[in-house]
Amino acid sequence: MSLARADREPRSPAVPRATAVPAAARSAKRRQHLKSQVVAWAFVAPLVVYLAAFYVYPLYRNVDLSLHHYTVRSFVNGNAPFSGWDNFQTVFDDPTFWTAVRNTLVFTLVSIAFQYGAGLALAVFFSRRFRLSGLLRALFLIPWLLPLIVSSSTWAWMMNSESGLLNYALHFVGVGPVDWLTSPTWALTSVIIANIWIGIPFNLVILHSGLQNIPPELYEAAAIDGAGPWQRFRRVTFPLLRPVSAIVLLLGFVYTLKVFDLIWIMTKGGPGDASTTLATWSYRLGFGSLLPKFGPGAAVGNILIVIALAFGLLYIRVTRRQPA
Amino acid sequence: MSAATDTTRGTGTIRSTRSTVLGVVLTTVMLFPVYWMINVSLTPQQDMRKTPPDLLPLHPTFSGYQAVLHDQGPYLVTSLLIGLGTVALTLLLSAPAGYALARLRPRGGGLLSLVLLIAQMIPGIVMAMGFYGIFLSLGWMNTWWGLIVADSTIAVPFGVMIFVAFMSGIPGELTAAARIDGAGPVRTFWSVILPVSRNALVTVSLFSFLWAWSDFVFANTLDSGGAMRPITLGIYHYIGNNNQEWNAIMATAVVGSVPAAVLLVLAQRYIAAGVTSGAVKD
């Protein structure tokens, strides 16, 4: 938009009274347009090449993997026989499949619900003007900035059955020890707790910046109309925050769906399949044993992509329908 | 409970003090695991499984940190190299593309933005499997440059979107003025757009460094047997090998967290500066 304007404004005074030059002007304009297109694409070209080589091609390889019967040998030689949907059939028939789907959904939805809820409450809290609020908000970022291996191993040690701090705290209030990471009933809950902790700062930061963009006059007007704090939140903050909320929830969904490090480091998806999600299952099939099943592993990965894209396209539709 | 209200009047100071206290409490709770990591890293081995555990490092030991210096030095250097390489590659690809998408309106730009949005949704584990095959045939397995390429895929789509958002907000008068002065698109990009986009540059660099530094998926699949392995694998193998020496493991974790802490202190204002506000003033 701005370029088109910049193109025309300095130029139009130089063109003398446009009476007899429509054809010449049009072709000059077209040449100008073509030139600007070439320049624009020159800036974008490295990115396009990069995306083709390091996004599209790996994904193509992944689809290719899932449609062939690969072994370690044929993986290197590249002469695996075509096997059609066999790998997908193997995956669907595996009892782990539905467990992994269920765990993925529970992990993702519960994590997001708590991250968003806590993030929003904290964002509203930190929008009050009080001393140290900036510093404290910055400190809140730490869990999100830490490498996942750091936070995961810290939580794993805190949740250790024998000498973990969490069980000591439970003992302190008179509750028996919980096998956080080693019992099938608790493993998924445990990784969800750690994941919520990691995700809160992201929600806080984005929602807080969204709050800053709400004009203060609206709150003043609402206060004059006699709206209490809760009314102001419900009628002003929440509706005006909806676009930002959509972004946070989509990104949260995408990030959470693909969480692998945290679960793998804390439980390796175990015990049994108790905390196995599609992401950890895919990894376990492809890399987790000495006898890798690349085909089924890639098949699970492709299923994961399809789920992510389904929700991603839903998000794009929702945001497009919003009036900017 | 109200957001951005008029706490400046009357009861302001009392409410402000109460908010500060509540804020400090909340932050303490949130950061407790971080404190615990530091506490465990200083706990002597014989006290590690004591009940009740020592809540304060009353008898601190630095043996864990000595072990880190002894065992993990090369891993840290590798992570630094990979982090910086990823930043360079990410900026090189995403800043010009962001400029073009924001200001030059290339045909098909909308489609490209959609592709970038979708690219961010692809799970790293799937990418890792695709890269595994490619790297095997290219001979890029267990190399630092292979990891830079793989790690950059986490950051490039994000980087482009940040640059697009930021550069769209730069006032048209700036570029128009450059144009009148006879600057072409390249000159405009280099001497007008980039200097004004400092906040976006810092934000993208910060996150691409952190993501590369923190990466575990790509490192574990593409570099697990290499001579130059990053610190995330150093910690992971530590956990696997000496399951009992948690002070050394937590000491490595503390050291591995240093870049996050440093960048938070140095660059926090750039993140907080927001996407559009800072540029217009320059």
Least confident of B5-19, B50-64, B129-143, B176-190: B5-19
Instruction: Kindly state the tokens that stand for A92.
Output: 């669907």
- Write phi, then psi, for A82 (nearest 5 degrees): -65, 135
Residue A2 lies in a domain: no
Residue A83 lies in a domain: no
Question: CA nearest A201 in B: which residue?
Answer: B30
d(C-alpha B58, C-alpha B43), whole Å: 8
Residue B54 lies in a domain: no
Provide the 8-state DSSP code for A80: P
Residue B30 lies in a domain: no
Residue B103 lies in a domain: yes
Q: Is B183 helix (H, G, I), strand (E, B) or coil?
A: coil
pLDDT score at A106: 96
Q: Inform me whether the pLDDT recorded for B281 exceeds 50.
A: no
Per the structure, the count of domains in chain B is 1
d(C-alpha A14, C-alpha A284), whole Å: 68
Provide ipTM, 2 decimals.
0.83
Residue A52 lies in a domain: no
pLDDT score at B270: 62
d(C-alpha B109, C-alpha A106), whole Å: 37
Confidence band (pLDDT; 50, 70, 90) for A218? confident
Residue B35 lies in a domain: no
Residue B263 lies in a domain: yes
Q: Inform me whether the pLDDT recorded for B275 exceeds 50.
A: no
Are the C-beta atoms of residues A206 and A293 closer than 8 Å to each other?
A: no
Residue A6 lies in a domain: no
Provide the 8-state DSSP code for B53: P
Q: Is B15 buried (19+), middle (13-18) or exposed (0-12) by CB count in 10 A?
A: middle
Residue A53 lies in a domain: no
Instruction: Kindly state the tokens that stand for A31.
Output: 């040449």
Choice between A255 and B280, residue whose per-residue pLDDT is larger: A255
- Write phi, then psi, for B229 (nearest 5 degrees): -115, 145
Confidence band (pLDDT; 50, 70, 90) for B213? very high
pLDDT score at B3: 44
Give the closest residue to A266 by CA, choosing from A170, A186, A162, A201.
A186
Contacts of range A202-205, beta carbons closer than 8 Å, 24 or more positions apart: A202/A115, A202/A119, A202/A144, A202/A248, A202/A251, A202/A252, A202/A255, A203/A115, A203/A116, A203/A118, A203/A119, A203/A120, A203/A123, A203/A248, A203/A252, A204/A118, A204/A119, A204/A122, A204/A123, A204/A126, A204/A137, A204/A140, A205/A141, A205/B271
Find the domain containing A146 and state its range: 95-321
Which residues numbered 145-174 in B keep a CB inside 8 Å of some CB on A? 149-150, 152-153, 156, 160, 172
pLDDT score at B7: 43
Instruction: Kindly state the tokens that stand for B196.
Output: 């004004």
CATH number of the domain where residue A277 is located? 1.10.3720.10
Write out the H or E segment, with its range, that includes residue B172. Answer: helix B172-180
- pLDDT tens figures, A242-264: 878 887 887 788 779 889 999 99
Residue A135 lies in a domain: yes
Write out the H or E segment, with its range, that includes residue A65. Answer: helix A57-66
Q: CA-CA-CA-CA torsion for A156, A157, A161, A165, nearest 10 degrees?
A: -120
Per the structure, the count of domains in chain A is 1
Q: Which among B125, B184, B249 has the least Cβ separation from residue A283? A: B125
CATH number of the domain where residue B83 is located? 1.10.3720.10
The dihedral built from the CA positions of residue B138, B142, B147 and B148, taken in this order, carries a sign that is negative
Give the closest residue to A153 by CA, choosing from B233, B213, B51.
B233
Find the domain containing B253 and state its range: 63-281
Question: CA nearest A296 in B: which residue?
Answer: B129
Mutate to test the interface with A, among B1, B2, B8, B36 (most CBs of A within 10 A): B2
Choice between A145 and A107, residue whose per-residue pLDDT is larger: A107
Least confident of A126-140, A290-304, B44-58: B44-58
pLDDT score at A58: 92
Q: Which among A4, A147, A308 has the least Cβ separation from residue B256? A: A147
Confidence band (pLDDT; 50, 70, 90) for A321? low
Counting every residue, how long is chain A? 324
Which residues numbered 62-81 in B keep a CB inside 8 Å of some CB on A? none
Residue A42 lies in a domain: no
- Mean pLDDT, to the nearest integer, of B188-205? 88
Highest mean pLDDT among A35-39, A248-252, B35-39 belongs to B35-39
d(C-alpha A31, C-alpha A317), whole Å: 36
